[in-house]
């Protein structure tokens, strides 16, 4: 074992390019993790220590957690966010992949045009879409409802594009074999094609969940009463009404990261490459 | 009764016709091999039989019934694909069982069938493995198992062995042939490998550019090819061709290093004739009184195969390949003459490419 490590070091020495790569990655990693460490650190500080720039508090306390969790509103917002993000994620995983599969594997008139139309919506910034969304929601009575928060994201152009690209890599032989085995087209998608793109599906699920969990702008606009707030909107209102208590905000934010971490831990193991090739020639 | 009949079947992609009204009857229990070069339409024909490709014109009958508009599953045929197409996320048991997905059977019956199939293909120990833990030959056997398990009326094979190495290929060839002998099932098998076609088929169908050129038993095609393409396609090495001209006094070779002493076949005087001769009919050495053809040239390459040596000879008619006994003392660069008996020669019209009656 020791020889392997020393050999590895020798190799690293032999490649200055590799040292630079590691250095860049390390610096990038530190830049990204520092605010998160400060967030966790601050959540264990009392108000008097907040502006003490030490990463870990001298006298750590759980008071913030007790206070935040005992405020009923926090749990309500947490539940809202969880429900909304989960529903939107499931919807995207289902509809994006169904549409992506259809665009990738069926030959029909106008297929390319439809794909272009879907893709072109990616060029419109969210800020511009908010106005028509709001008008739509207000005409249909969706303001201040869960559905109002969710509807713009139930299916996304990005997800459809991603899934289409992945389904294109699924060899047609699998689908044809299933067709001969007697499956109908929906069963072929569900039983054969979908399991072969689990890496893409997991990636889509992670992106969608994170995007909706952290979404702020649209939920802020479409909700007016506190009971429909999502966590990011709620935390902000929390901050404003309580004259910015950083330790409370950091505690709320720290609690808010837990589901995203869980989602990532559960789904990332599906992001393994190469599962598809196993059924074909070596 | 599971005869497959193709009547004037055509296939068009847009305005381009790729299959030009072919007729073919595959009898119940027959092993028919469609063979031909890439792009000859053999795979398209197979896919039309399977129902994976719509038929543009003509009738396809399976068991007497026209099935042009039937879905693949309604035709009750099974297909084995070139790259196996066994589902990577399922175990061997699930893969084989997938053939029974739509069958109305109890779970116990399904399991029994799966195990019988696995037994027959020597897959019993592998039933719980995933495809990634199988070798190429085992994967192909799983694919065959999935096809077999539901007792289809016919099996379609689309170049199933072309991804295997040479040794495994010859082994699987025998396995498929034995399976056919046991199950007595109707098989349509597509390959571009003439060795596979020769060794496995009851009947070979030679295709080219969307037409059927000739169909017959392997020996029939080998002995009586109907045209130059078939003559050169069937048999390994390919049949050698020598250009000649028909005269009243017999055939005259066009190139000086070939000497023919044979009467002209029934063809107009001064017609161009291609004289075919198989490598094994050529003898390296002195002419005899039955000699119909003598060729002289320099040895380019020797290919020792153990039991025989293939001698590549440079002549004005191109490279001619002759087969010599293994121990023959020959060397590259040496000038040799090779001879063939009159009876072993084939004659073709060089313009129409069609075979001519022997004189």
CATH of the domain at B8: 3.40.50.300
Mutate to test the interface with B, among A108, A180, A195, A202 (most CBs of B within 10 A): A180
Chain B residues close to A183, C-beta within 8 Å: 73, 101-102
* pLDDT score at B257: 84
pLDDT for the residue numbered A272? 53
Q: What pLDDT, on a 0 to 100 scale, did the predictor assign at position A131?
A: 92
- Interface membership of B236 toward A (CB under 8 Å): no
Q: Nearest-CA distance from A161 to chain B in Å?
A: 24
- Residues pairing with B189 in the sheet: B33, B157
Q: Which of A171, A180, A195 sits opposite B79 (nearest CB)?
A: A180
- Please check whether residues B97 and B174 belong to one and the same domain: yes
Q: Which of A4-13, A49-58, A110-119, B187-196 shows the lowest per-residue confidence on average (mean pLDDT)?
A: A4-13
Higher pLDDT, B12 or A235: B12
Q: Are residues B213 and B342 in the same domain?
A: no
Compute the C-alpha angle B188/B194/B200, nearest 5°: 50
Contact B359, B263 (CB under 8 A): yes
Tens digit of each residue's pLDDT (9 = 90 or more) over B3-52: 999 999 999 998 999 999 999 999 999 999 999 988 899 999 999 999 99
What is the CATH number for A275? 1.10.3720.10
Judged against a pLDDT cut of 50, whether residue B181 lies above it is answered with yes
The whole-number pLDDT of residue A149 equals 92
Last residue of a domain, one of A61, A82, A108: A61
Chain A residues inside the 8 Å CB shell of B52 = 176, 179-180
pLDDT tier at A278, thresholds 50, 70, 90? very low
Omega within 30 of 0 (cis) for the link into B237: yes
Distance CA B325, CA B348 (A): 29
Residue A108: list chain B partners with CB under 8 A: none
pLDDT, tens digit, 9 for 90 and up, residues B202-245: 999 999 999 999 999 999 999 999 999 999 999 889 999 999 99
Query: What pLDDT sits at residue A281?
Result: 43
The number of distinct structural domains making up chain B is 2
Q: Are A19 and A100 part of one and the same domain?
A: no
Q: Are residues B170 and B257 in the same domain?
A: no
Domain carrying residue A42: 2-61
Q: Which two tokens stand for residue B67?
A: 């099935």
Beta bridge partners of B207: B212
Q: Which of A107, A170, A175, A182 should one mutate to test binding to chain B, selecting the residue with the greatest count of B CBs within 10 A?
A: A182
Q: In what order do the strands lie in the sheet with B186-191?
A: B77-80, B154-158, B186-191, B31-35, B203-208, B211-216
pLDDT of B285 over the 60 cut: yes
User: CA-nearest residue of chain B to A184?
Assistant: B73
Q: Do the domain assignments include residue B356?
A: no
Q: Which of A62-66, A210-214, B202-206 has the highest mean pLDDT?
A: B202-206
Rounded to an integer, what distance in angstroms lies between the CA atom of residue B83 and that of residue B85?
6
For residue B9, the model assigns a pLDDT of 94
Instruction: Pick from B46, B88, B130, B139 the residue to mutate for testing the A interface (most A CBs within 10 Å).
Output: B88
Over residues B68-105, the pLDDT tens digits come to 999 988 898 999 998 888 898 899 999 998 888 777 88
Q: Which tokens sit at A106?
A: 């069926």
Query: Which among A10, A36, A61 is the end of a domain?
Result: A61
CB A112: neighbour CB atoms within 10 A?
9
Distance from CA of B137 to the nearest CA of A (A): 10
Q: Which helix (H) or strand (E) holds A212?
A: helix A198-213
B72: closest CA of chain A, how far (Å): 5
End-of-domain residue from the set A37, A61, A85: A61
Q: What pLDDT shows up at residue B214? A: 93
A186 and A198, same domain (yes or no): yes
Q: How far is CA B230 from CA A74, B140, B167, B206, B352, in A?
A: 82, 30, 26, 7, 13
Structure tokens at A169: 């890599």
Q: How confident is the model at residue A279 (pLDDT cuts 50, 70, 90)?
A: very low
Is the confidence at residue B143, as pLDDT, over 80? yes
Residue B298 maps to which CATH number?
A: 2.40.50.140
Average pLDDT over residues B315-323: 90
> What integer pLDDT is reported at residue B183 of this predicted model?
86
- The two tokens of residue A126 are 């969210």
Would you state the structure tokens that stand for residue B150, as one six-digit string? 């539901």
Q: Do B206 and B281 have their domain in common? A: no
Question: What's residue B114's pLDDT?
Answer: 92
**Is B78 near chain A, with CB under 8 Å?**
yes
- Residues A42, A95, single domain; the answer is no
Residue the block writes with tokens 């099932």: B185
Domain count, chain A: 2
Q: Do A129 and A56 fall within a single domain? A: no
Total beta-carbon pairs less than 8 A apart between chain A and chain B: 80
Note whether residue B333 is domain-resident: yes
In this prediction, residues B127-138 reach a mean pLDDT of 89
Q: Tell me how close the Cα of B187 comes to any Cα of chain A, in angstroms.
A: 16
Same domain, A167 and A235: yes
CA distance B136 to chain A (A): 7
**Distance (Å) from the C-alpha of residue A99 to the closest C-alpha of chain B?**
22
Give the domain-ending residue among B229, B252, B284: B229
What is the per-residue pLDDT for B32? 96
- Left, alpha or beta for B355 (phi > 0: left; psi -120 to 50: alpha)? beta
The residues, any chain, with a CB within 8 Å of residue A200's CB and separated by 6 or more, are A162, A163, A165, A166
Enter the ipTM.
Answer: 0.80
Strands (E), chain B: 4-13, 16-26, 31-35, 57-62, 65-66, 77-80, 154-158, 186-191, 203-208, 211-216, 240-247, 250-253, 258-260, 272-277, 283-284, 291-304, 308-315, 318-325, 335-341, 346-349
pTM of the predicted structure, to 2 decimals: 0.79
Domain boundary (B194, B229, B264) is at B229
Between A279 and A269, the higher pLDDT residue: A269
Cβ–Cβ of B81/A281 closer than 8 Å? no
The whole-number pLDDT of residue A235 equals 84
Phi-psi region of A280 (alpha: psi -120 to 50; beta: other; left: phi over 0): beta
- Burial label for B156, CB within 10 Å (0-12, 13-18, 19+), is buried
Mean pLDDT of chain B: 89
Residue B183 and residue B307 in one domain? no
The pLDDT tens digits of the residues spanning A180-206 come to 988 899 999 999 999 989 888 988 998
As a whole number, mean pLDDT of residues A90-96 equals 95
**B185 within 8 A of B120, measured Cβ to Cβ:** no
Q: What is the model's pLDDT at position A282? A: 37
Summary mean pLDDT of chain A: 85
Facing residue for B87 by CB, picked from A174, A176, A281? A174
What is the distance between the alpha carbons of residues B4 and B188, in angstroms, rounded to a whole number?
Answer: 9
d(CA B264, CA B244) in angstroms, rounded, equals 10
A9: pLDDT strictly greater than 80: no
Of residues A102 and B248, the one with the higher pLDDT is A102
Q: By mean pLDDT, which of A56-60, A237-241, B170-174 is the weakest?
A: A237-241
B260 and B211 in a single domain? The answer is no
Same domain, A48 and A130: no
Cross-chain Cβ contact A183/B132 below 8 Å: no
How far apart (Å, rounded) are the C-alpha atoms in residues A87 and A7? 50
Q: Which domain holds residue B302?
A: 237-349
Residue A178 dihedral angles phi and psi, to the nearest 5°: -65, -35
CB-CB neighbors (< 8 A) of B155 in chain A:
none
- Planar angle of CA B46, B47, B53, nearest 5 degrees: 145
Cα–chain center distance at A186: 27
The pairs formed by A171-176 with CB atoms below 8 angstroms and a separation of 24 or more are A171/A276, A171/A280, A171/B83, A171/B85, A172/A105, A173/A280, A173/B81, A173/B82, A173/B83, A173/B85, A174/A279, A174/B85, A174/B87, A175/A105, A176/B50, A176/B52, A176/B72, A176/B79, A176/B81, A176/B85
Cβ of B83 within 8 Å of Cβ of A277? The answer is no
Give chain A positions within 8 Å (CB) of B89: 195-196, 275
User: Residue B293 class from Cβ within 10 Å (0-12 exposed, 13-18 middle, 19+ buried)?
Assistant: buried
pLDDT higher than 60, residue B195: yes
Q: Do B136 and A174 touch (CB under 8 A)?
A: no
Model pLDDT, residue B225:
94
Residues A55 and A134 placed together within one structural domain of the fold: no
The shortest C-alpha distance from A171 to chain B (Å) reads: 8
Partner residue opposite A173 with nearest CB, options B73, B81, B98: B81
A231 with A201, same domain? yes
Say whether both B12 and B98 belong to one domain: yes
Can you tell me the mean pLDDT for A155-183? 91
Residues A94, A190: one domain?
yes
Q: Same structural domain for residues A204 and A103?
A: yes
B285 or B181, greater pLDDT: B181
- Domain ends where: B191, B207, B229? B229
CA atoms lying within 13 Å on the CB side of residue A119 = 13
Residue A273 pLDDT > 70, yes or no?
no
pLDDT at B300 > cutoff 90: yes
């Amino acid at each position: 074992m020791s020889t392997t490590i020393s050999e590895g070091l020798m190799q690293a020495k032999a490649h200055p390019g590799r040292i630079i790569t590691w250095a860049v990655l390390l610096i990038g990693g530190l830049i990204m993790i520092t605010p998160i460490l400060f967030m966790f650190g601050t959540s264990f500080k009392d108000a008097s220590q907040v502006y003490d720039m030490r990463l870990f508090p001298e006298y750590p306390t759980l008071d913030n957690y007790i206070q935040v969790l005992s405020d009923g509103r926090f749990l309500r917002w947490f539940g809202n966010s969880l429900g909304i993000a989960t529903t939107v994620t499931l919807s995207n995983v289902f509809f994006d992949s169904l549409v992506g599969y259809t665009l990738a594997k069926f030959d029909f008139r106008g297929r390319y045009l439809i794909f272009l139309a879907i893709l072109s919506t990616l060029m419109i910034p969210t800020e511009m879409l908010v106005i028509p969304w709001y008008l739509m929601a207000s005409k249909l009575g969706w303001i201040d409802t869960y559905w109002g928060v969710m509807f713009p994201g139930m299916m996304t152009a990005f997800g459809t594009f991603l899934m289409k690209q992945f389904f294109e890599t699924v060899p047609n032989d699998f689908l044809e074999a299933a067709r001969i085995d007697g499956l109908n087209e929906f069963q072929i998608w569900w039983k054969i094609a979908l399991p072969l793109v689990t890496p893409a599906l997991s990636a889509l699920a992670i992106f969608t969940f994170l995007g909706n969990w952290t979404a702020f702008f649209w939920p802020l606009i479409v909700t007016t009463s506190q009971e429909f707030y999502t966590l990011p909107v709620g935390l902000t209102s929390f901050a404003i009404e309580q004259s910015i208590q950083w330790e409370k905000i950091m505690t709320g934010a720290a609690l808010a990261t837990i589901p995203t971490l869980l989602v990532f831990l559960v789904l990332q193991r599906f992001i393994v490459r190469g599962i598809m090739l196993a059924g074909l020639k070596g | 009764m599971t005869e497959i009949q193709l009547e004037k079947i055509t296939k068009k992609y847009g305005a381009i016709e790729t299959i030009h009204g072919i007729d073919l009857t595959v009898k119940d229990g027959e092993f028919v091999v469609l063979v031909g070069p890439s792009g000859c339409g053999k795979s398209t024909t197979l896919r039309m039989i399977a129902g994976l490709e719509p038929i543009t014109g003509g009738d396809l009958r399976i068991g007497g019934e026209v099935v042009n508009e039937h879905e693949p599953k309604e035709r009750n045929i099974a297909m084995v694909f070139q790259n196996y197409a066994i589902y990577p996320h399922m175990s061997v048991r699930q893969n084989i069982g997938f053939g029974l997905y739509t069958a109305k059977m109890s779970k116990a019956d399904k399991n029994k069938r799966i195990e019988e199939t696995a037994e027959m293909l020597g897959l019993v120990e592998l039933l719980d493995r995933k495809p990634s833990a199988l070798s190429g030959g085992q994967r192909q056997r799983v694919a065959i198992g999935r096809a077999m398990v539901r007792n289809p009326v016919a099996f379609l094979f689309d170049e199933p062995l072309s991804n295997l190495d040479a040794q495994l290929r010859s082994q699987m060839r025998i396995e498929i042939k034995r399976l056919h002998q046991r199950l007595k099932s109707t098989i349509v098998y597509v390959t571009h490998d003439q060795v596979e076609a020769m060794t496995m088929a009851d009947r070979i169908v030679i295709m080219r550019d969307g037409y059927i050129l000739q169909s017959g038993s392997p020996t029939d095609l080998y002995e009586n090819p109907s045209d130059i393409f078939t003559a050169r396609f069937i048999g390994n090495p390919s049949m050698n061709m020598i250009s000649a001209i028909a005269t009243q006094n017999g055939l005259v070779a066009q190139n000086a290093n070939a000497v023919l002493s044979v009467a002209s076949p029934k063809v107009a005087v001064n017609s161009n004739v291609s004289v075919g001769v198989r490598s094994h009919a050529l003898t390296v050495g002195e002419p005899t009184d039955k000699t119909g053809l003598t060729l002289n040239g320099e040895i380019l390459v020797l290919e020792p195969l153990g039991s025989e040596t293939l001698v590549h000879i440079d002549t004005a008619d191109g490279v001619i390949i002759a087969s010599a006994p293994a121990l023959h003392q020959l060397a590259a660069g040496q000038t040799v003459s090779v001879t063939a008996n009159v009876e072993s020669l084939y004659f073709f019209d060089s313009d129409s490419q069609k075979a001519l009656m022997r004189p």
